[in-house]
Chains A and B, each alone.
Chain A
């Protein structure tokens, strides 16, 4: 018999109905657990039993179970009852071992006896029986399954199914369509999948003219108006139905100019600087003869909308920034050194490999370019046009970064989400192509959105208290690209969404009712993926705490929506916030530490003037004052200022995990303190309100994931499960006693840890 006596391995017995019917235990028996959990519209395509999922490098940790391929995910249902840790963030759509098909980058089958391996695509044949399946995922995971004890035919079939279904031939085969379509099958049960648009969603989607109106008002862009000529997408296929143009341009003019631009993309207004300078994005003009004339018309209209009638500055992004292929190549190299190369080997050349991947360089280039644009808006007070060939890639990154740096509203959670909605989704970033969801054209694939998130992370890392969200939020947002049910990341432009969902509806005889199109949930409806409790991991205690420090007499003054004054540096820059606050005496140590910051900041004011460009002087001047977190935020851009976004890129590497360490331990401490402050405030409010008994409402409404303990005299120690990968876990959330048996101890004993077959996978044959 091929089964050893090892307890963890399955035996045929486990498939027999249990002889003892112990009511308490029966739900946990393996037979019950081996059902894949399916979502509405999800169907099982193929499955194989007795599959081993490799965890770590020692087979003793491996899990046994059933490998299932559905039209949505690769699911692994384990026989082992894992010691589940209570920290684990549970995903509402995906189980612990599930991988959405859209997240699978490459399917590699191996037969180690015959020394063969093959990368599987759609509709391919496999001439050998696989002993092993390796899934390379877009989120940097590498997952291995072994079929040593599975039936050879079923193993082969499930591998082929995974390969086939991870290469959908048509966008409408992406799972989101089935999932959302199911919603309309119910007679009146409209909320089958919890798709709920209006309720509780504070993030503007910018798919209606009122969202744009509000944005115009918010930024004081009175010389700009919402234009509706593209309703029904009759003018431009890639523009949204509503967008904003200078008031001096009539619809008739716009219709006339449209044809000169790439894809009839009339230049789009992004945002207005408080000084009145607009940020506009524009595609290239195809006809060189008309170019000058049209450009002049557009520019002069923008100038007319400027309070000082300033001339427009054009920033050519294609000339100054790496192109999408460069960025894709950089990410592939980065992935190679982060997760594919053997850990110990990549250690030796880590820094130079990181440099030669160029990823960090590109992050810095984008940030630097955004700073240049900020300089034009902020200091030169001129409107800026971001010029890019198609205006659908680089502009998205730059316009967002500029707004993040200038506008504190964009650093709030809803402000940030609205920003992405406005500059990426509505502006027509080709998410479908760039994510390569259909795996049709690798040349179109490019991780621009991830690059943008990394840029945001760098800003966040330098000014952690300026953002309402955390790096967990940014990471989870990046991962959501690979869950193909969100309107946010499924389409190339709003029109494609409308058309595809109309077609899908008619082919499936779905009655859309009042809806124009299928209502895909936006990713911003976080309850689709996470419980409210888990969503508190998005809340930044430093930011929340700052709101707390603004409390006067029980009322919270939020500053997030306050318009920044035109002159950011007027009065607020002079004193550090702790002193303004008045809560600390000037002789306090804090004041002394603060003054240290002041002094260092003033150093730059002495840099020699003959060498510097005006924008350098602007930056130098900026850093000569204390930074107002609610004002302009410029990143520091020496190469030594940037770091690798470890949570995103290294979270799956067991060797790179710091057990009970990492920034999360500081986050834990901050959260608890912030929670305590919130609790005290709610007590205060209650005392002031009715003088009644404080109740325990607080615990339910806390914004913090980590809460103050009920035993206040104890300083809370960070929970044992924390690690630098939290809330992700590279080792399948196995409980381990010490470091014995962990990758760390293997490393200590000089073992090679990563598996050599994985390097093979990238070879072509």
Chain B
């Protein structure tokens, strides 16, 4: 069924997809569902003949089957019916009360496969591997009519539309939101906020048509002393043409965070005088320091090994006043393997006796630590050392955005707001060409693709670690981060599609799809951290020791029904805010009364209590 009214649709979207993460770890109860979701869903659930399924605009049922058994790792076998649409998989139990449901976007599937041969009774087992830390298993009787497709074959088709020459659901979905999220990021406005252009930094139009570098954005900020011609020469010396350009500039010291890819030094130690000049110019643009720090995200061994493939790193001979630091962060393959191990440890069940050492053996937190430590060193150099920094890895689109965006969050409180964080993602990740399509593999059935890696998830995890250490420094809550991750995979919104700004423009993604920020910004109150205190120009220096890092259990273990949320402090805080608002109202009423009384009676006027008229915060 289609929703027409915008309020209703937001509601149904909210309860069926985004909130899936937080709200439905699989089993659900319909009556609480009813209470929670308001009218729109109530209508749907009250009429089972209509299919019980809250459909999104342009979402169409493709196939359904009764008598499917879901082998739940927590509940055991659950019998029910399975529906596949062009957007989701929906399973609803028929054998138990309260009803159990599974509702997930097909985008989270990375792999669907038949396990073993059919049993004597004709039962076939299917395993579904998901990108969001769970695996699902179903058992289904094959249709006797061999011409009829099994529901799982239909599922495979719609789960991997790209492999089947179809378009992603994001291109079908036509929801109208009050705000257009594609307008959140305006590069020039963002650089202007940083005070750019200024006497040292100019905007260059050299990449206006993505000719210099097809994975970079059109708007690039470079030192004024470097010409576009020189930039072109630099581009042939940097991997994939990703030249050093400005990411962020310190409002006071003018120390800059610059990002790039590796230099193409090769085994013969090639040099490029324009590149050397550019780095000198970056250093000169900051009068506070006569040094430049180059942070190479890689372990030094890997950086050296890259010379064999024509890459490499800046030699201290060629770059006189620069100091090169390796940050020892491993590559995408190591991270993918680490997350795979983590999944084994946390899903489906947690081993009671070796929990901590099992977590340690995945090295996941160690990687998180190295990334945060790297970002911290960058932020420290910029803030405390007033020195400009150049950050790169190999291609400058995985570890580099992790480091720059985390350093920027530490340095600039604007990026800790909800909208500022959106801008940060749009800028550092999307416009600078983190290869989302490749790393996530949207709609692609090739699950063994070596280009897939949880780089962005790792970054969000690092952000979450910081929100734990500074509970009042971020405007957004955990639910915001989980929502972003869920829609990284869902393919409902266009935000995380394609590999670069150029590709998104070519595919007209903003024209044909909805931005995740349209959805988020239309219901901001869901994502607000009530404890947030905005204090500008405050730099966060997180503690990056393992002691203060924790596994993000509410994300990684959310499917385990025993892992339930703890008593939320945030909610109590909201209750207190409401209480304050109520009391303020009453005090004000009494004040008014008292004022009236004294006005009518005598000159004996009560002193006005100045502290009582505190403005009520807007999110109450």
Cβ contacts under 8 Å, A209 to chain B:
none
A639 with B350: CB separation less than 8 A: yes
A600 and B540 in contact (CB under 8 A), knowing A347-B545, A688-B590? Answer: no
Cβ contacts under 8 Å, A545 to chain B:
572, 575-576, 579
Cβ contacts under 8 Å, A693 to chain B:
606-607
A361 CA to B357 CA, complexed, in Å: 13
A687 with B594: CB separation less than 8 A: yes
B356 with A355: CB separation less than 8 A: yes
B38 at interface, CB cutoff 8 A: yes
Which residue of A350, A692, A708, A718 contacts B611 across the interface (Cβ within 8 Å)? A708
A581 at interface, CB cutoff 8 A: yes
Contacting residues of chain A (127-174) with chain B, CB-CB under 8 angstroms? none
Distance (whole angstroms) from the CB of B511 to the closest CB of chain A: 32
Distance (whole angstroms) from the CB of B245 to the closest CB of chain A: 26
Give the nearest-CB partner of A583 in chain B: B578
Q: How many residues of A contact B (CB 8 A)?
A: 106
For B351-384 the 0/1 string (1 means CB < 8 A from A) is 0111111011000011001000100110010011
Q: How many residues of B contact A (CB 8 A)?
A: 102
Which residue of A583, A603, A656, A744 contacts B541 across the interface (Cβ within 8 Å)? A744
Stretch in contact with the other chain, from B203-211, B307-315, B485-493, B549-557:
B549-557
A307 at interface, CB cutoff 8 A: no
Distance (whole angstroms) from the CB of A102 to the closest CB of chain B: 28
A693 CA to B591 CA, complexed, in Å: 10
Cβ contacts under 8 Å, B579 to chain A:
545, 548-549, 583, 677
Cβ contacts under 8 Å, A713 to chain B:
614-615
Which residue of A348, A578, A638 contacts B575 across the interface (Cβ within 8 Å)? A578
A644 CA to B574 CA, complexed, in Å: 27
Cβ contacts under 8 Å, B580 to chain A:
673, 676-677, 680
Cβ contacts under 8 Å, B571 to chain A:
578, 590, 593-594
A748 with B583: CB separation less than 8 A: no
Stretch in contact with the other chain, from A36-44, A238-246, A461-469, A486-494:
A461-469
Give the nearest-CB partner of B19 in chain A: A596
A546 at interface, CB cutoff 8 A: yes
Distance (whole angstroms) from the CB of A470 to the closest CB of chain B: 13
A661 CA to B373 CA, complexed, in Å: 17
A743 CA to B241 CA, complexed, in Å: 39
Which residue of A461, A656, A669 contacts B547 across the interface (Cβ within 8 Å)? A656
Cβ contacts under 8 Å, B534 to chain A:
715
For B523-551 the 0/1 string (1 means CB < 8 A from A) is 00110000101110010111101111011
A639 and B352 in contact (CB under 8 A), knowing A604-B561, A673-B577? Answer: yes
A351 with B27: CB separation less than 8 A: no
Distance (whole angstroms) from the CB of B102 to the closest CB of chain A: 12
B597 with A577: CB separation less than 8 A: no
Cβ contacts under 8 Å, B546 to chain A:
347-348, 350-351
B521 at interface, CB cutoff 8 A: no
Instruction: Tell which of A465, A604, A640 has the most Cβ of chain B within 10 Å.
Output: A640
B356 with A639: CB separation less than 8 A: yes
B98 at interface, CB cutoff 8 A: yes
B376 with A718: CB separation less than 8 A: no
B576 with A670: CB separation less than 8 A: yes
B189 at interface, CB cutoff 8 A: no
B587 with A627: CB separation less than 8 A: no
B469 at interface, CB cutoff 8 A: yes
A26 at interface, CB cutoff 8 A: no
A244 CA to B582 CA, complexed, in Å: 47
B567 with A687: CB separation less than 8 A: no
Cβ contacts under 8 Å, A679 to chain B:
611
Give the tally of cross-chain contacts (CB within 8 A).
Answer: 278
A745 at interface, CB cutoff 8 A: yes
Contacting residues of chain A (660-700) with chain B, CB-CB under 8 angstroms? 660-663, 665-666, 668-670, 673-674, 676-677, 679-681, 683-684, 687-688, 691-694
A598 with B36: CB separation less than 8 A: yes
A764 at interface, CB cutoff 8 A: no
B547 with A350: CB separation less than 8 A: yes
B551 with A640: CB separation less than 8 A: yes
Distance (whole angstroms) from the CB of B19 to the closest CB of chain A: 7
Distance (whole angstroms) from the CB of B9 to the closest CB of chain A: 16
Stretch in contact with the other chain, from B53-61, B140-148, B419-427, B470-478:
B470-478
**Majority secondary structure, A binding face:** helix
B540 with A661: CB separation less than 8 A: yes
A592 at interface, CB cutoff 8 A: yes
B350 with A712: CB separation less than 8 A: no
A687 CA to B548 CA, complexed, in Å: 48
For A713-734 the 0/1 string (1 means CB < 8 A from B) is 1011110000010000000000
B567 with A465: CB separation less than 8 A: yes
A25 CA to B376 CA, complexed, in Å: 43
B117 at interface, CB cutoff 8 A: no
Cβ contacts under 8 Å, B538 to chain A:
660, 717
Cβ contacts under 8 Å, B365 to chain A:
351
A659 at interface, CB cutoff 8 A: yes
A659 CA to B538 CA, complexed, in Å: 12
A668 with B576: CB separation less than 8 A: no
Stretch in contact with the other chain, from A78-86, A219-227, A605-613:
A605-613
Cβ contacts under 8 Å, A663 to chain B:
471
B138 at interface, CB cutoff 8 A: no
A658 and B542 in contact (CB under 8 A), knowing A638-B350, A644-B547, A694-B609? Answer: yes
Cβ contacts under 8 Å, A650 to chain B:
547
A354 at interface, CB cutoff 8 A: yes
Cβ contacts under 8 Å, A593 to chain B:
526, 571
A349 CA to B357 CA, complexed, in Å: 9
A349 and B360 in contact (CB under 8 A), knowing A542-B572, A599-B24? Answer: yes
A748 CA to B331 CA, complexed, in Å: 21
A602 at interface, CB cutoff 8 A: yes
B562 with A638: CB separation less than 8 A: yes
Give the nearest-CB partner of A680 in chain B: B583
B98 with A602: CB separation less than 8 A: yes
Distance (whole angstroms) from the CB of A295 to the closest CB of chain B: 34
Which residue of B29, B562, B573 contacts A602 across the interface (Cβ within 8 Å)? B29
Distance (whole angstroms) from the CB of A689 to the closest CB of chain B: 11
A661 with B469: CB separation less than 8 A: yes
A607 and B75 in contact (CB under 8 A), knowing A597-B565, A658-B542? Answer: yes
A623 at interface, CB cutoff 8 A: yes
Give the nearest-CB partner of A678 in chain B: B583
B186 at interface, CB cutoff 8 A: no
A608 with B572: CB separation less than 8 A: no
A343 CA to B563 CA, complexed, in Å: 31
A636 at interface, CB cutoff 8 A: yes
A670 CA to B565 CA, complexed, in Å: 20
Give the nearest-CB partner of A600 in chain B: B564
B301 at interface, CB cutoff 8 A: no
A583 CA to B25 CA, complexed, in Å: 30
A465 with B572: CB separation less than 8 A: yes
A748 with B373: CB separation less than 8 A: yes
Give the nearest-CB partner of B96 in chain A: A606
B573 with A670: CB separation less than 8 A: yes
Give the nearest-CB partner of A708 in chain B: B611
B561 with A607: CB separation less than 8 A: yes
Instruction: List 10 contacting pairs A-B, 8 Å CB cutoff, sorted by A.
Output: A351-B360, A463-B567, A578-B574, A594-B571, A598-B32, A606-B75, A607-B561, A639-B352, A691-B597, A748-B380
19 other contacts beyond A350-B547, A712-B615, A724-B469, with CB at 8 A cut-off?
A350-B545, A352-B356, A355-B355, A583-B575, A583-B578, A597-B568, A598-B36, A629-B567, A636-B562, A638-B562, A641-B563, A660-B538, A677-B579, A677-B583, A691-B594, A691-B597, A740-B384, A744-B541, A745-B380
Shortest Cβ-Cβ A-B pairs, 9 listed: A595-B36, A639-B355, A712-B614, A680-B583, A355-B356, A351-B360, A687-B590, A603-B561, A352-B357
Chain B contact residues, CB within 8 Å of chain A: 19, 22-29, 32-33, 35-38, 74-76, 96, 98, 100, 350, 352-357, 359-360, 365-366, 369, 373, 376-377, 380, 383-384, 469-473, 525-526, 531, 533-535, 538, 540-543, 545-548, 550-551, 553, 557, 560-569, 571-580, 582-584, 586-587, 590-591, 593-594, 597, 606-607, 609-615
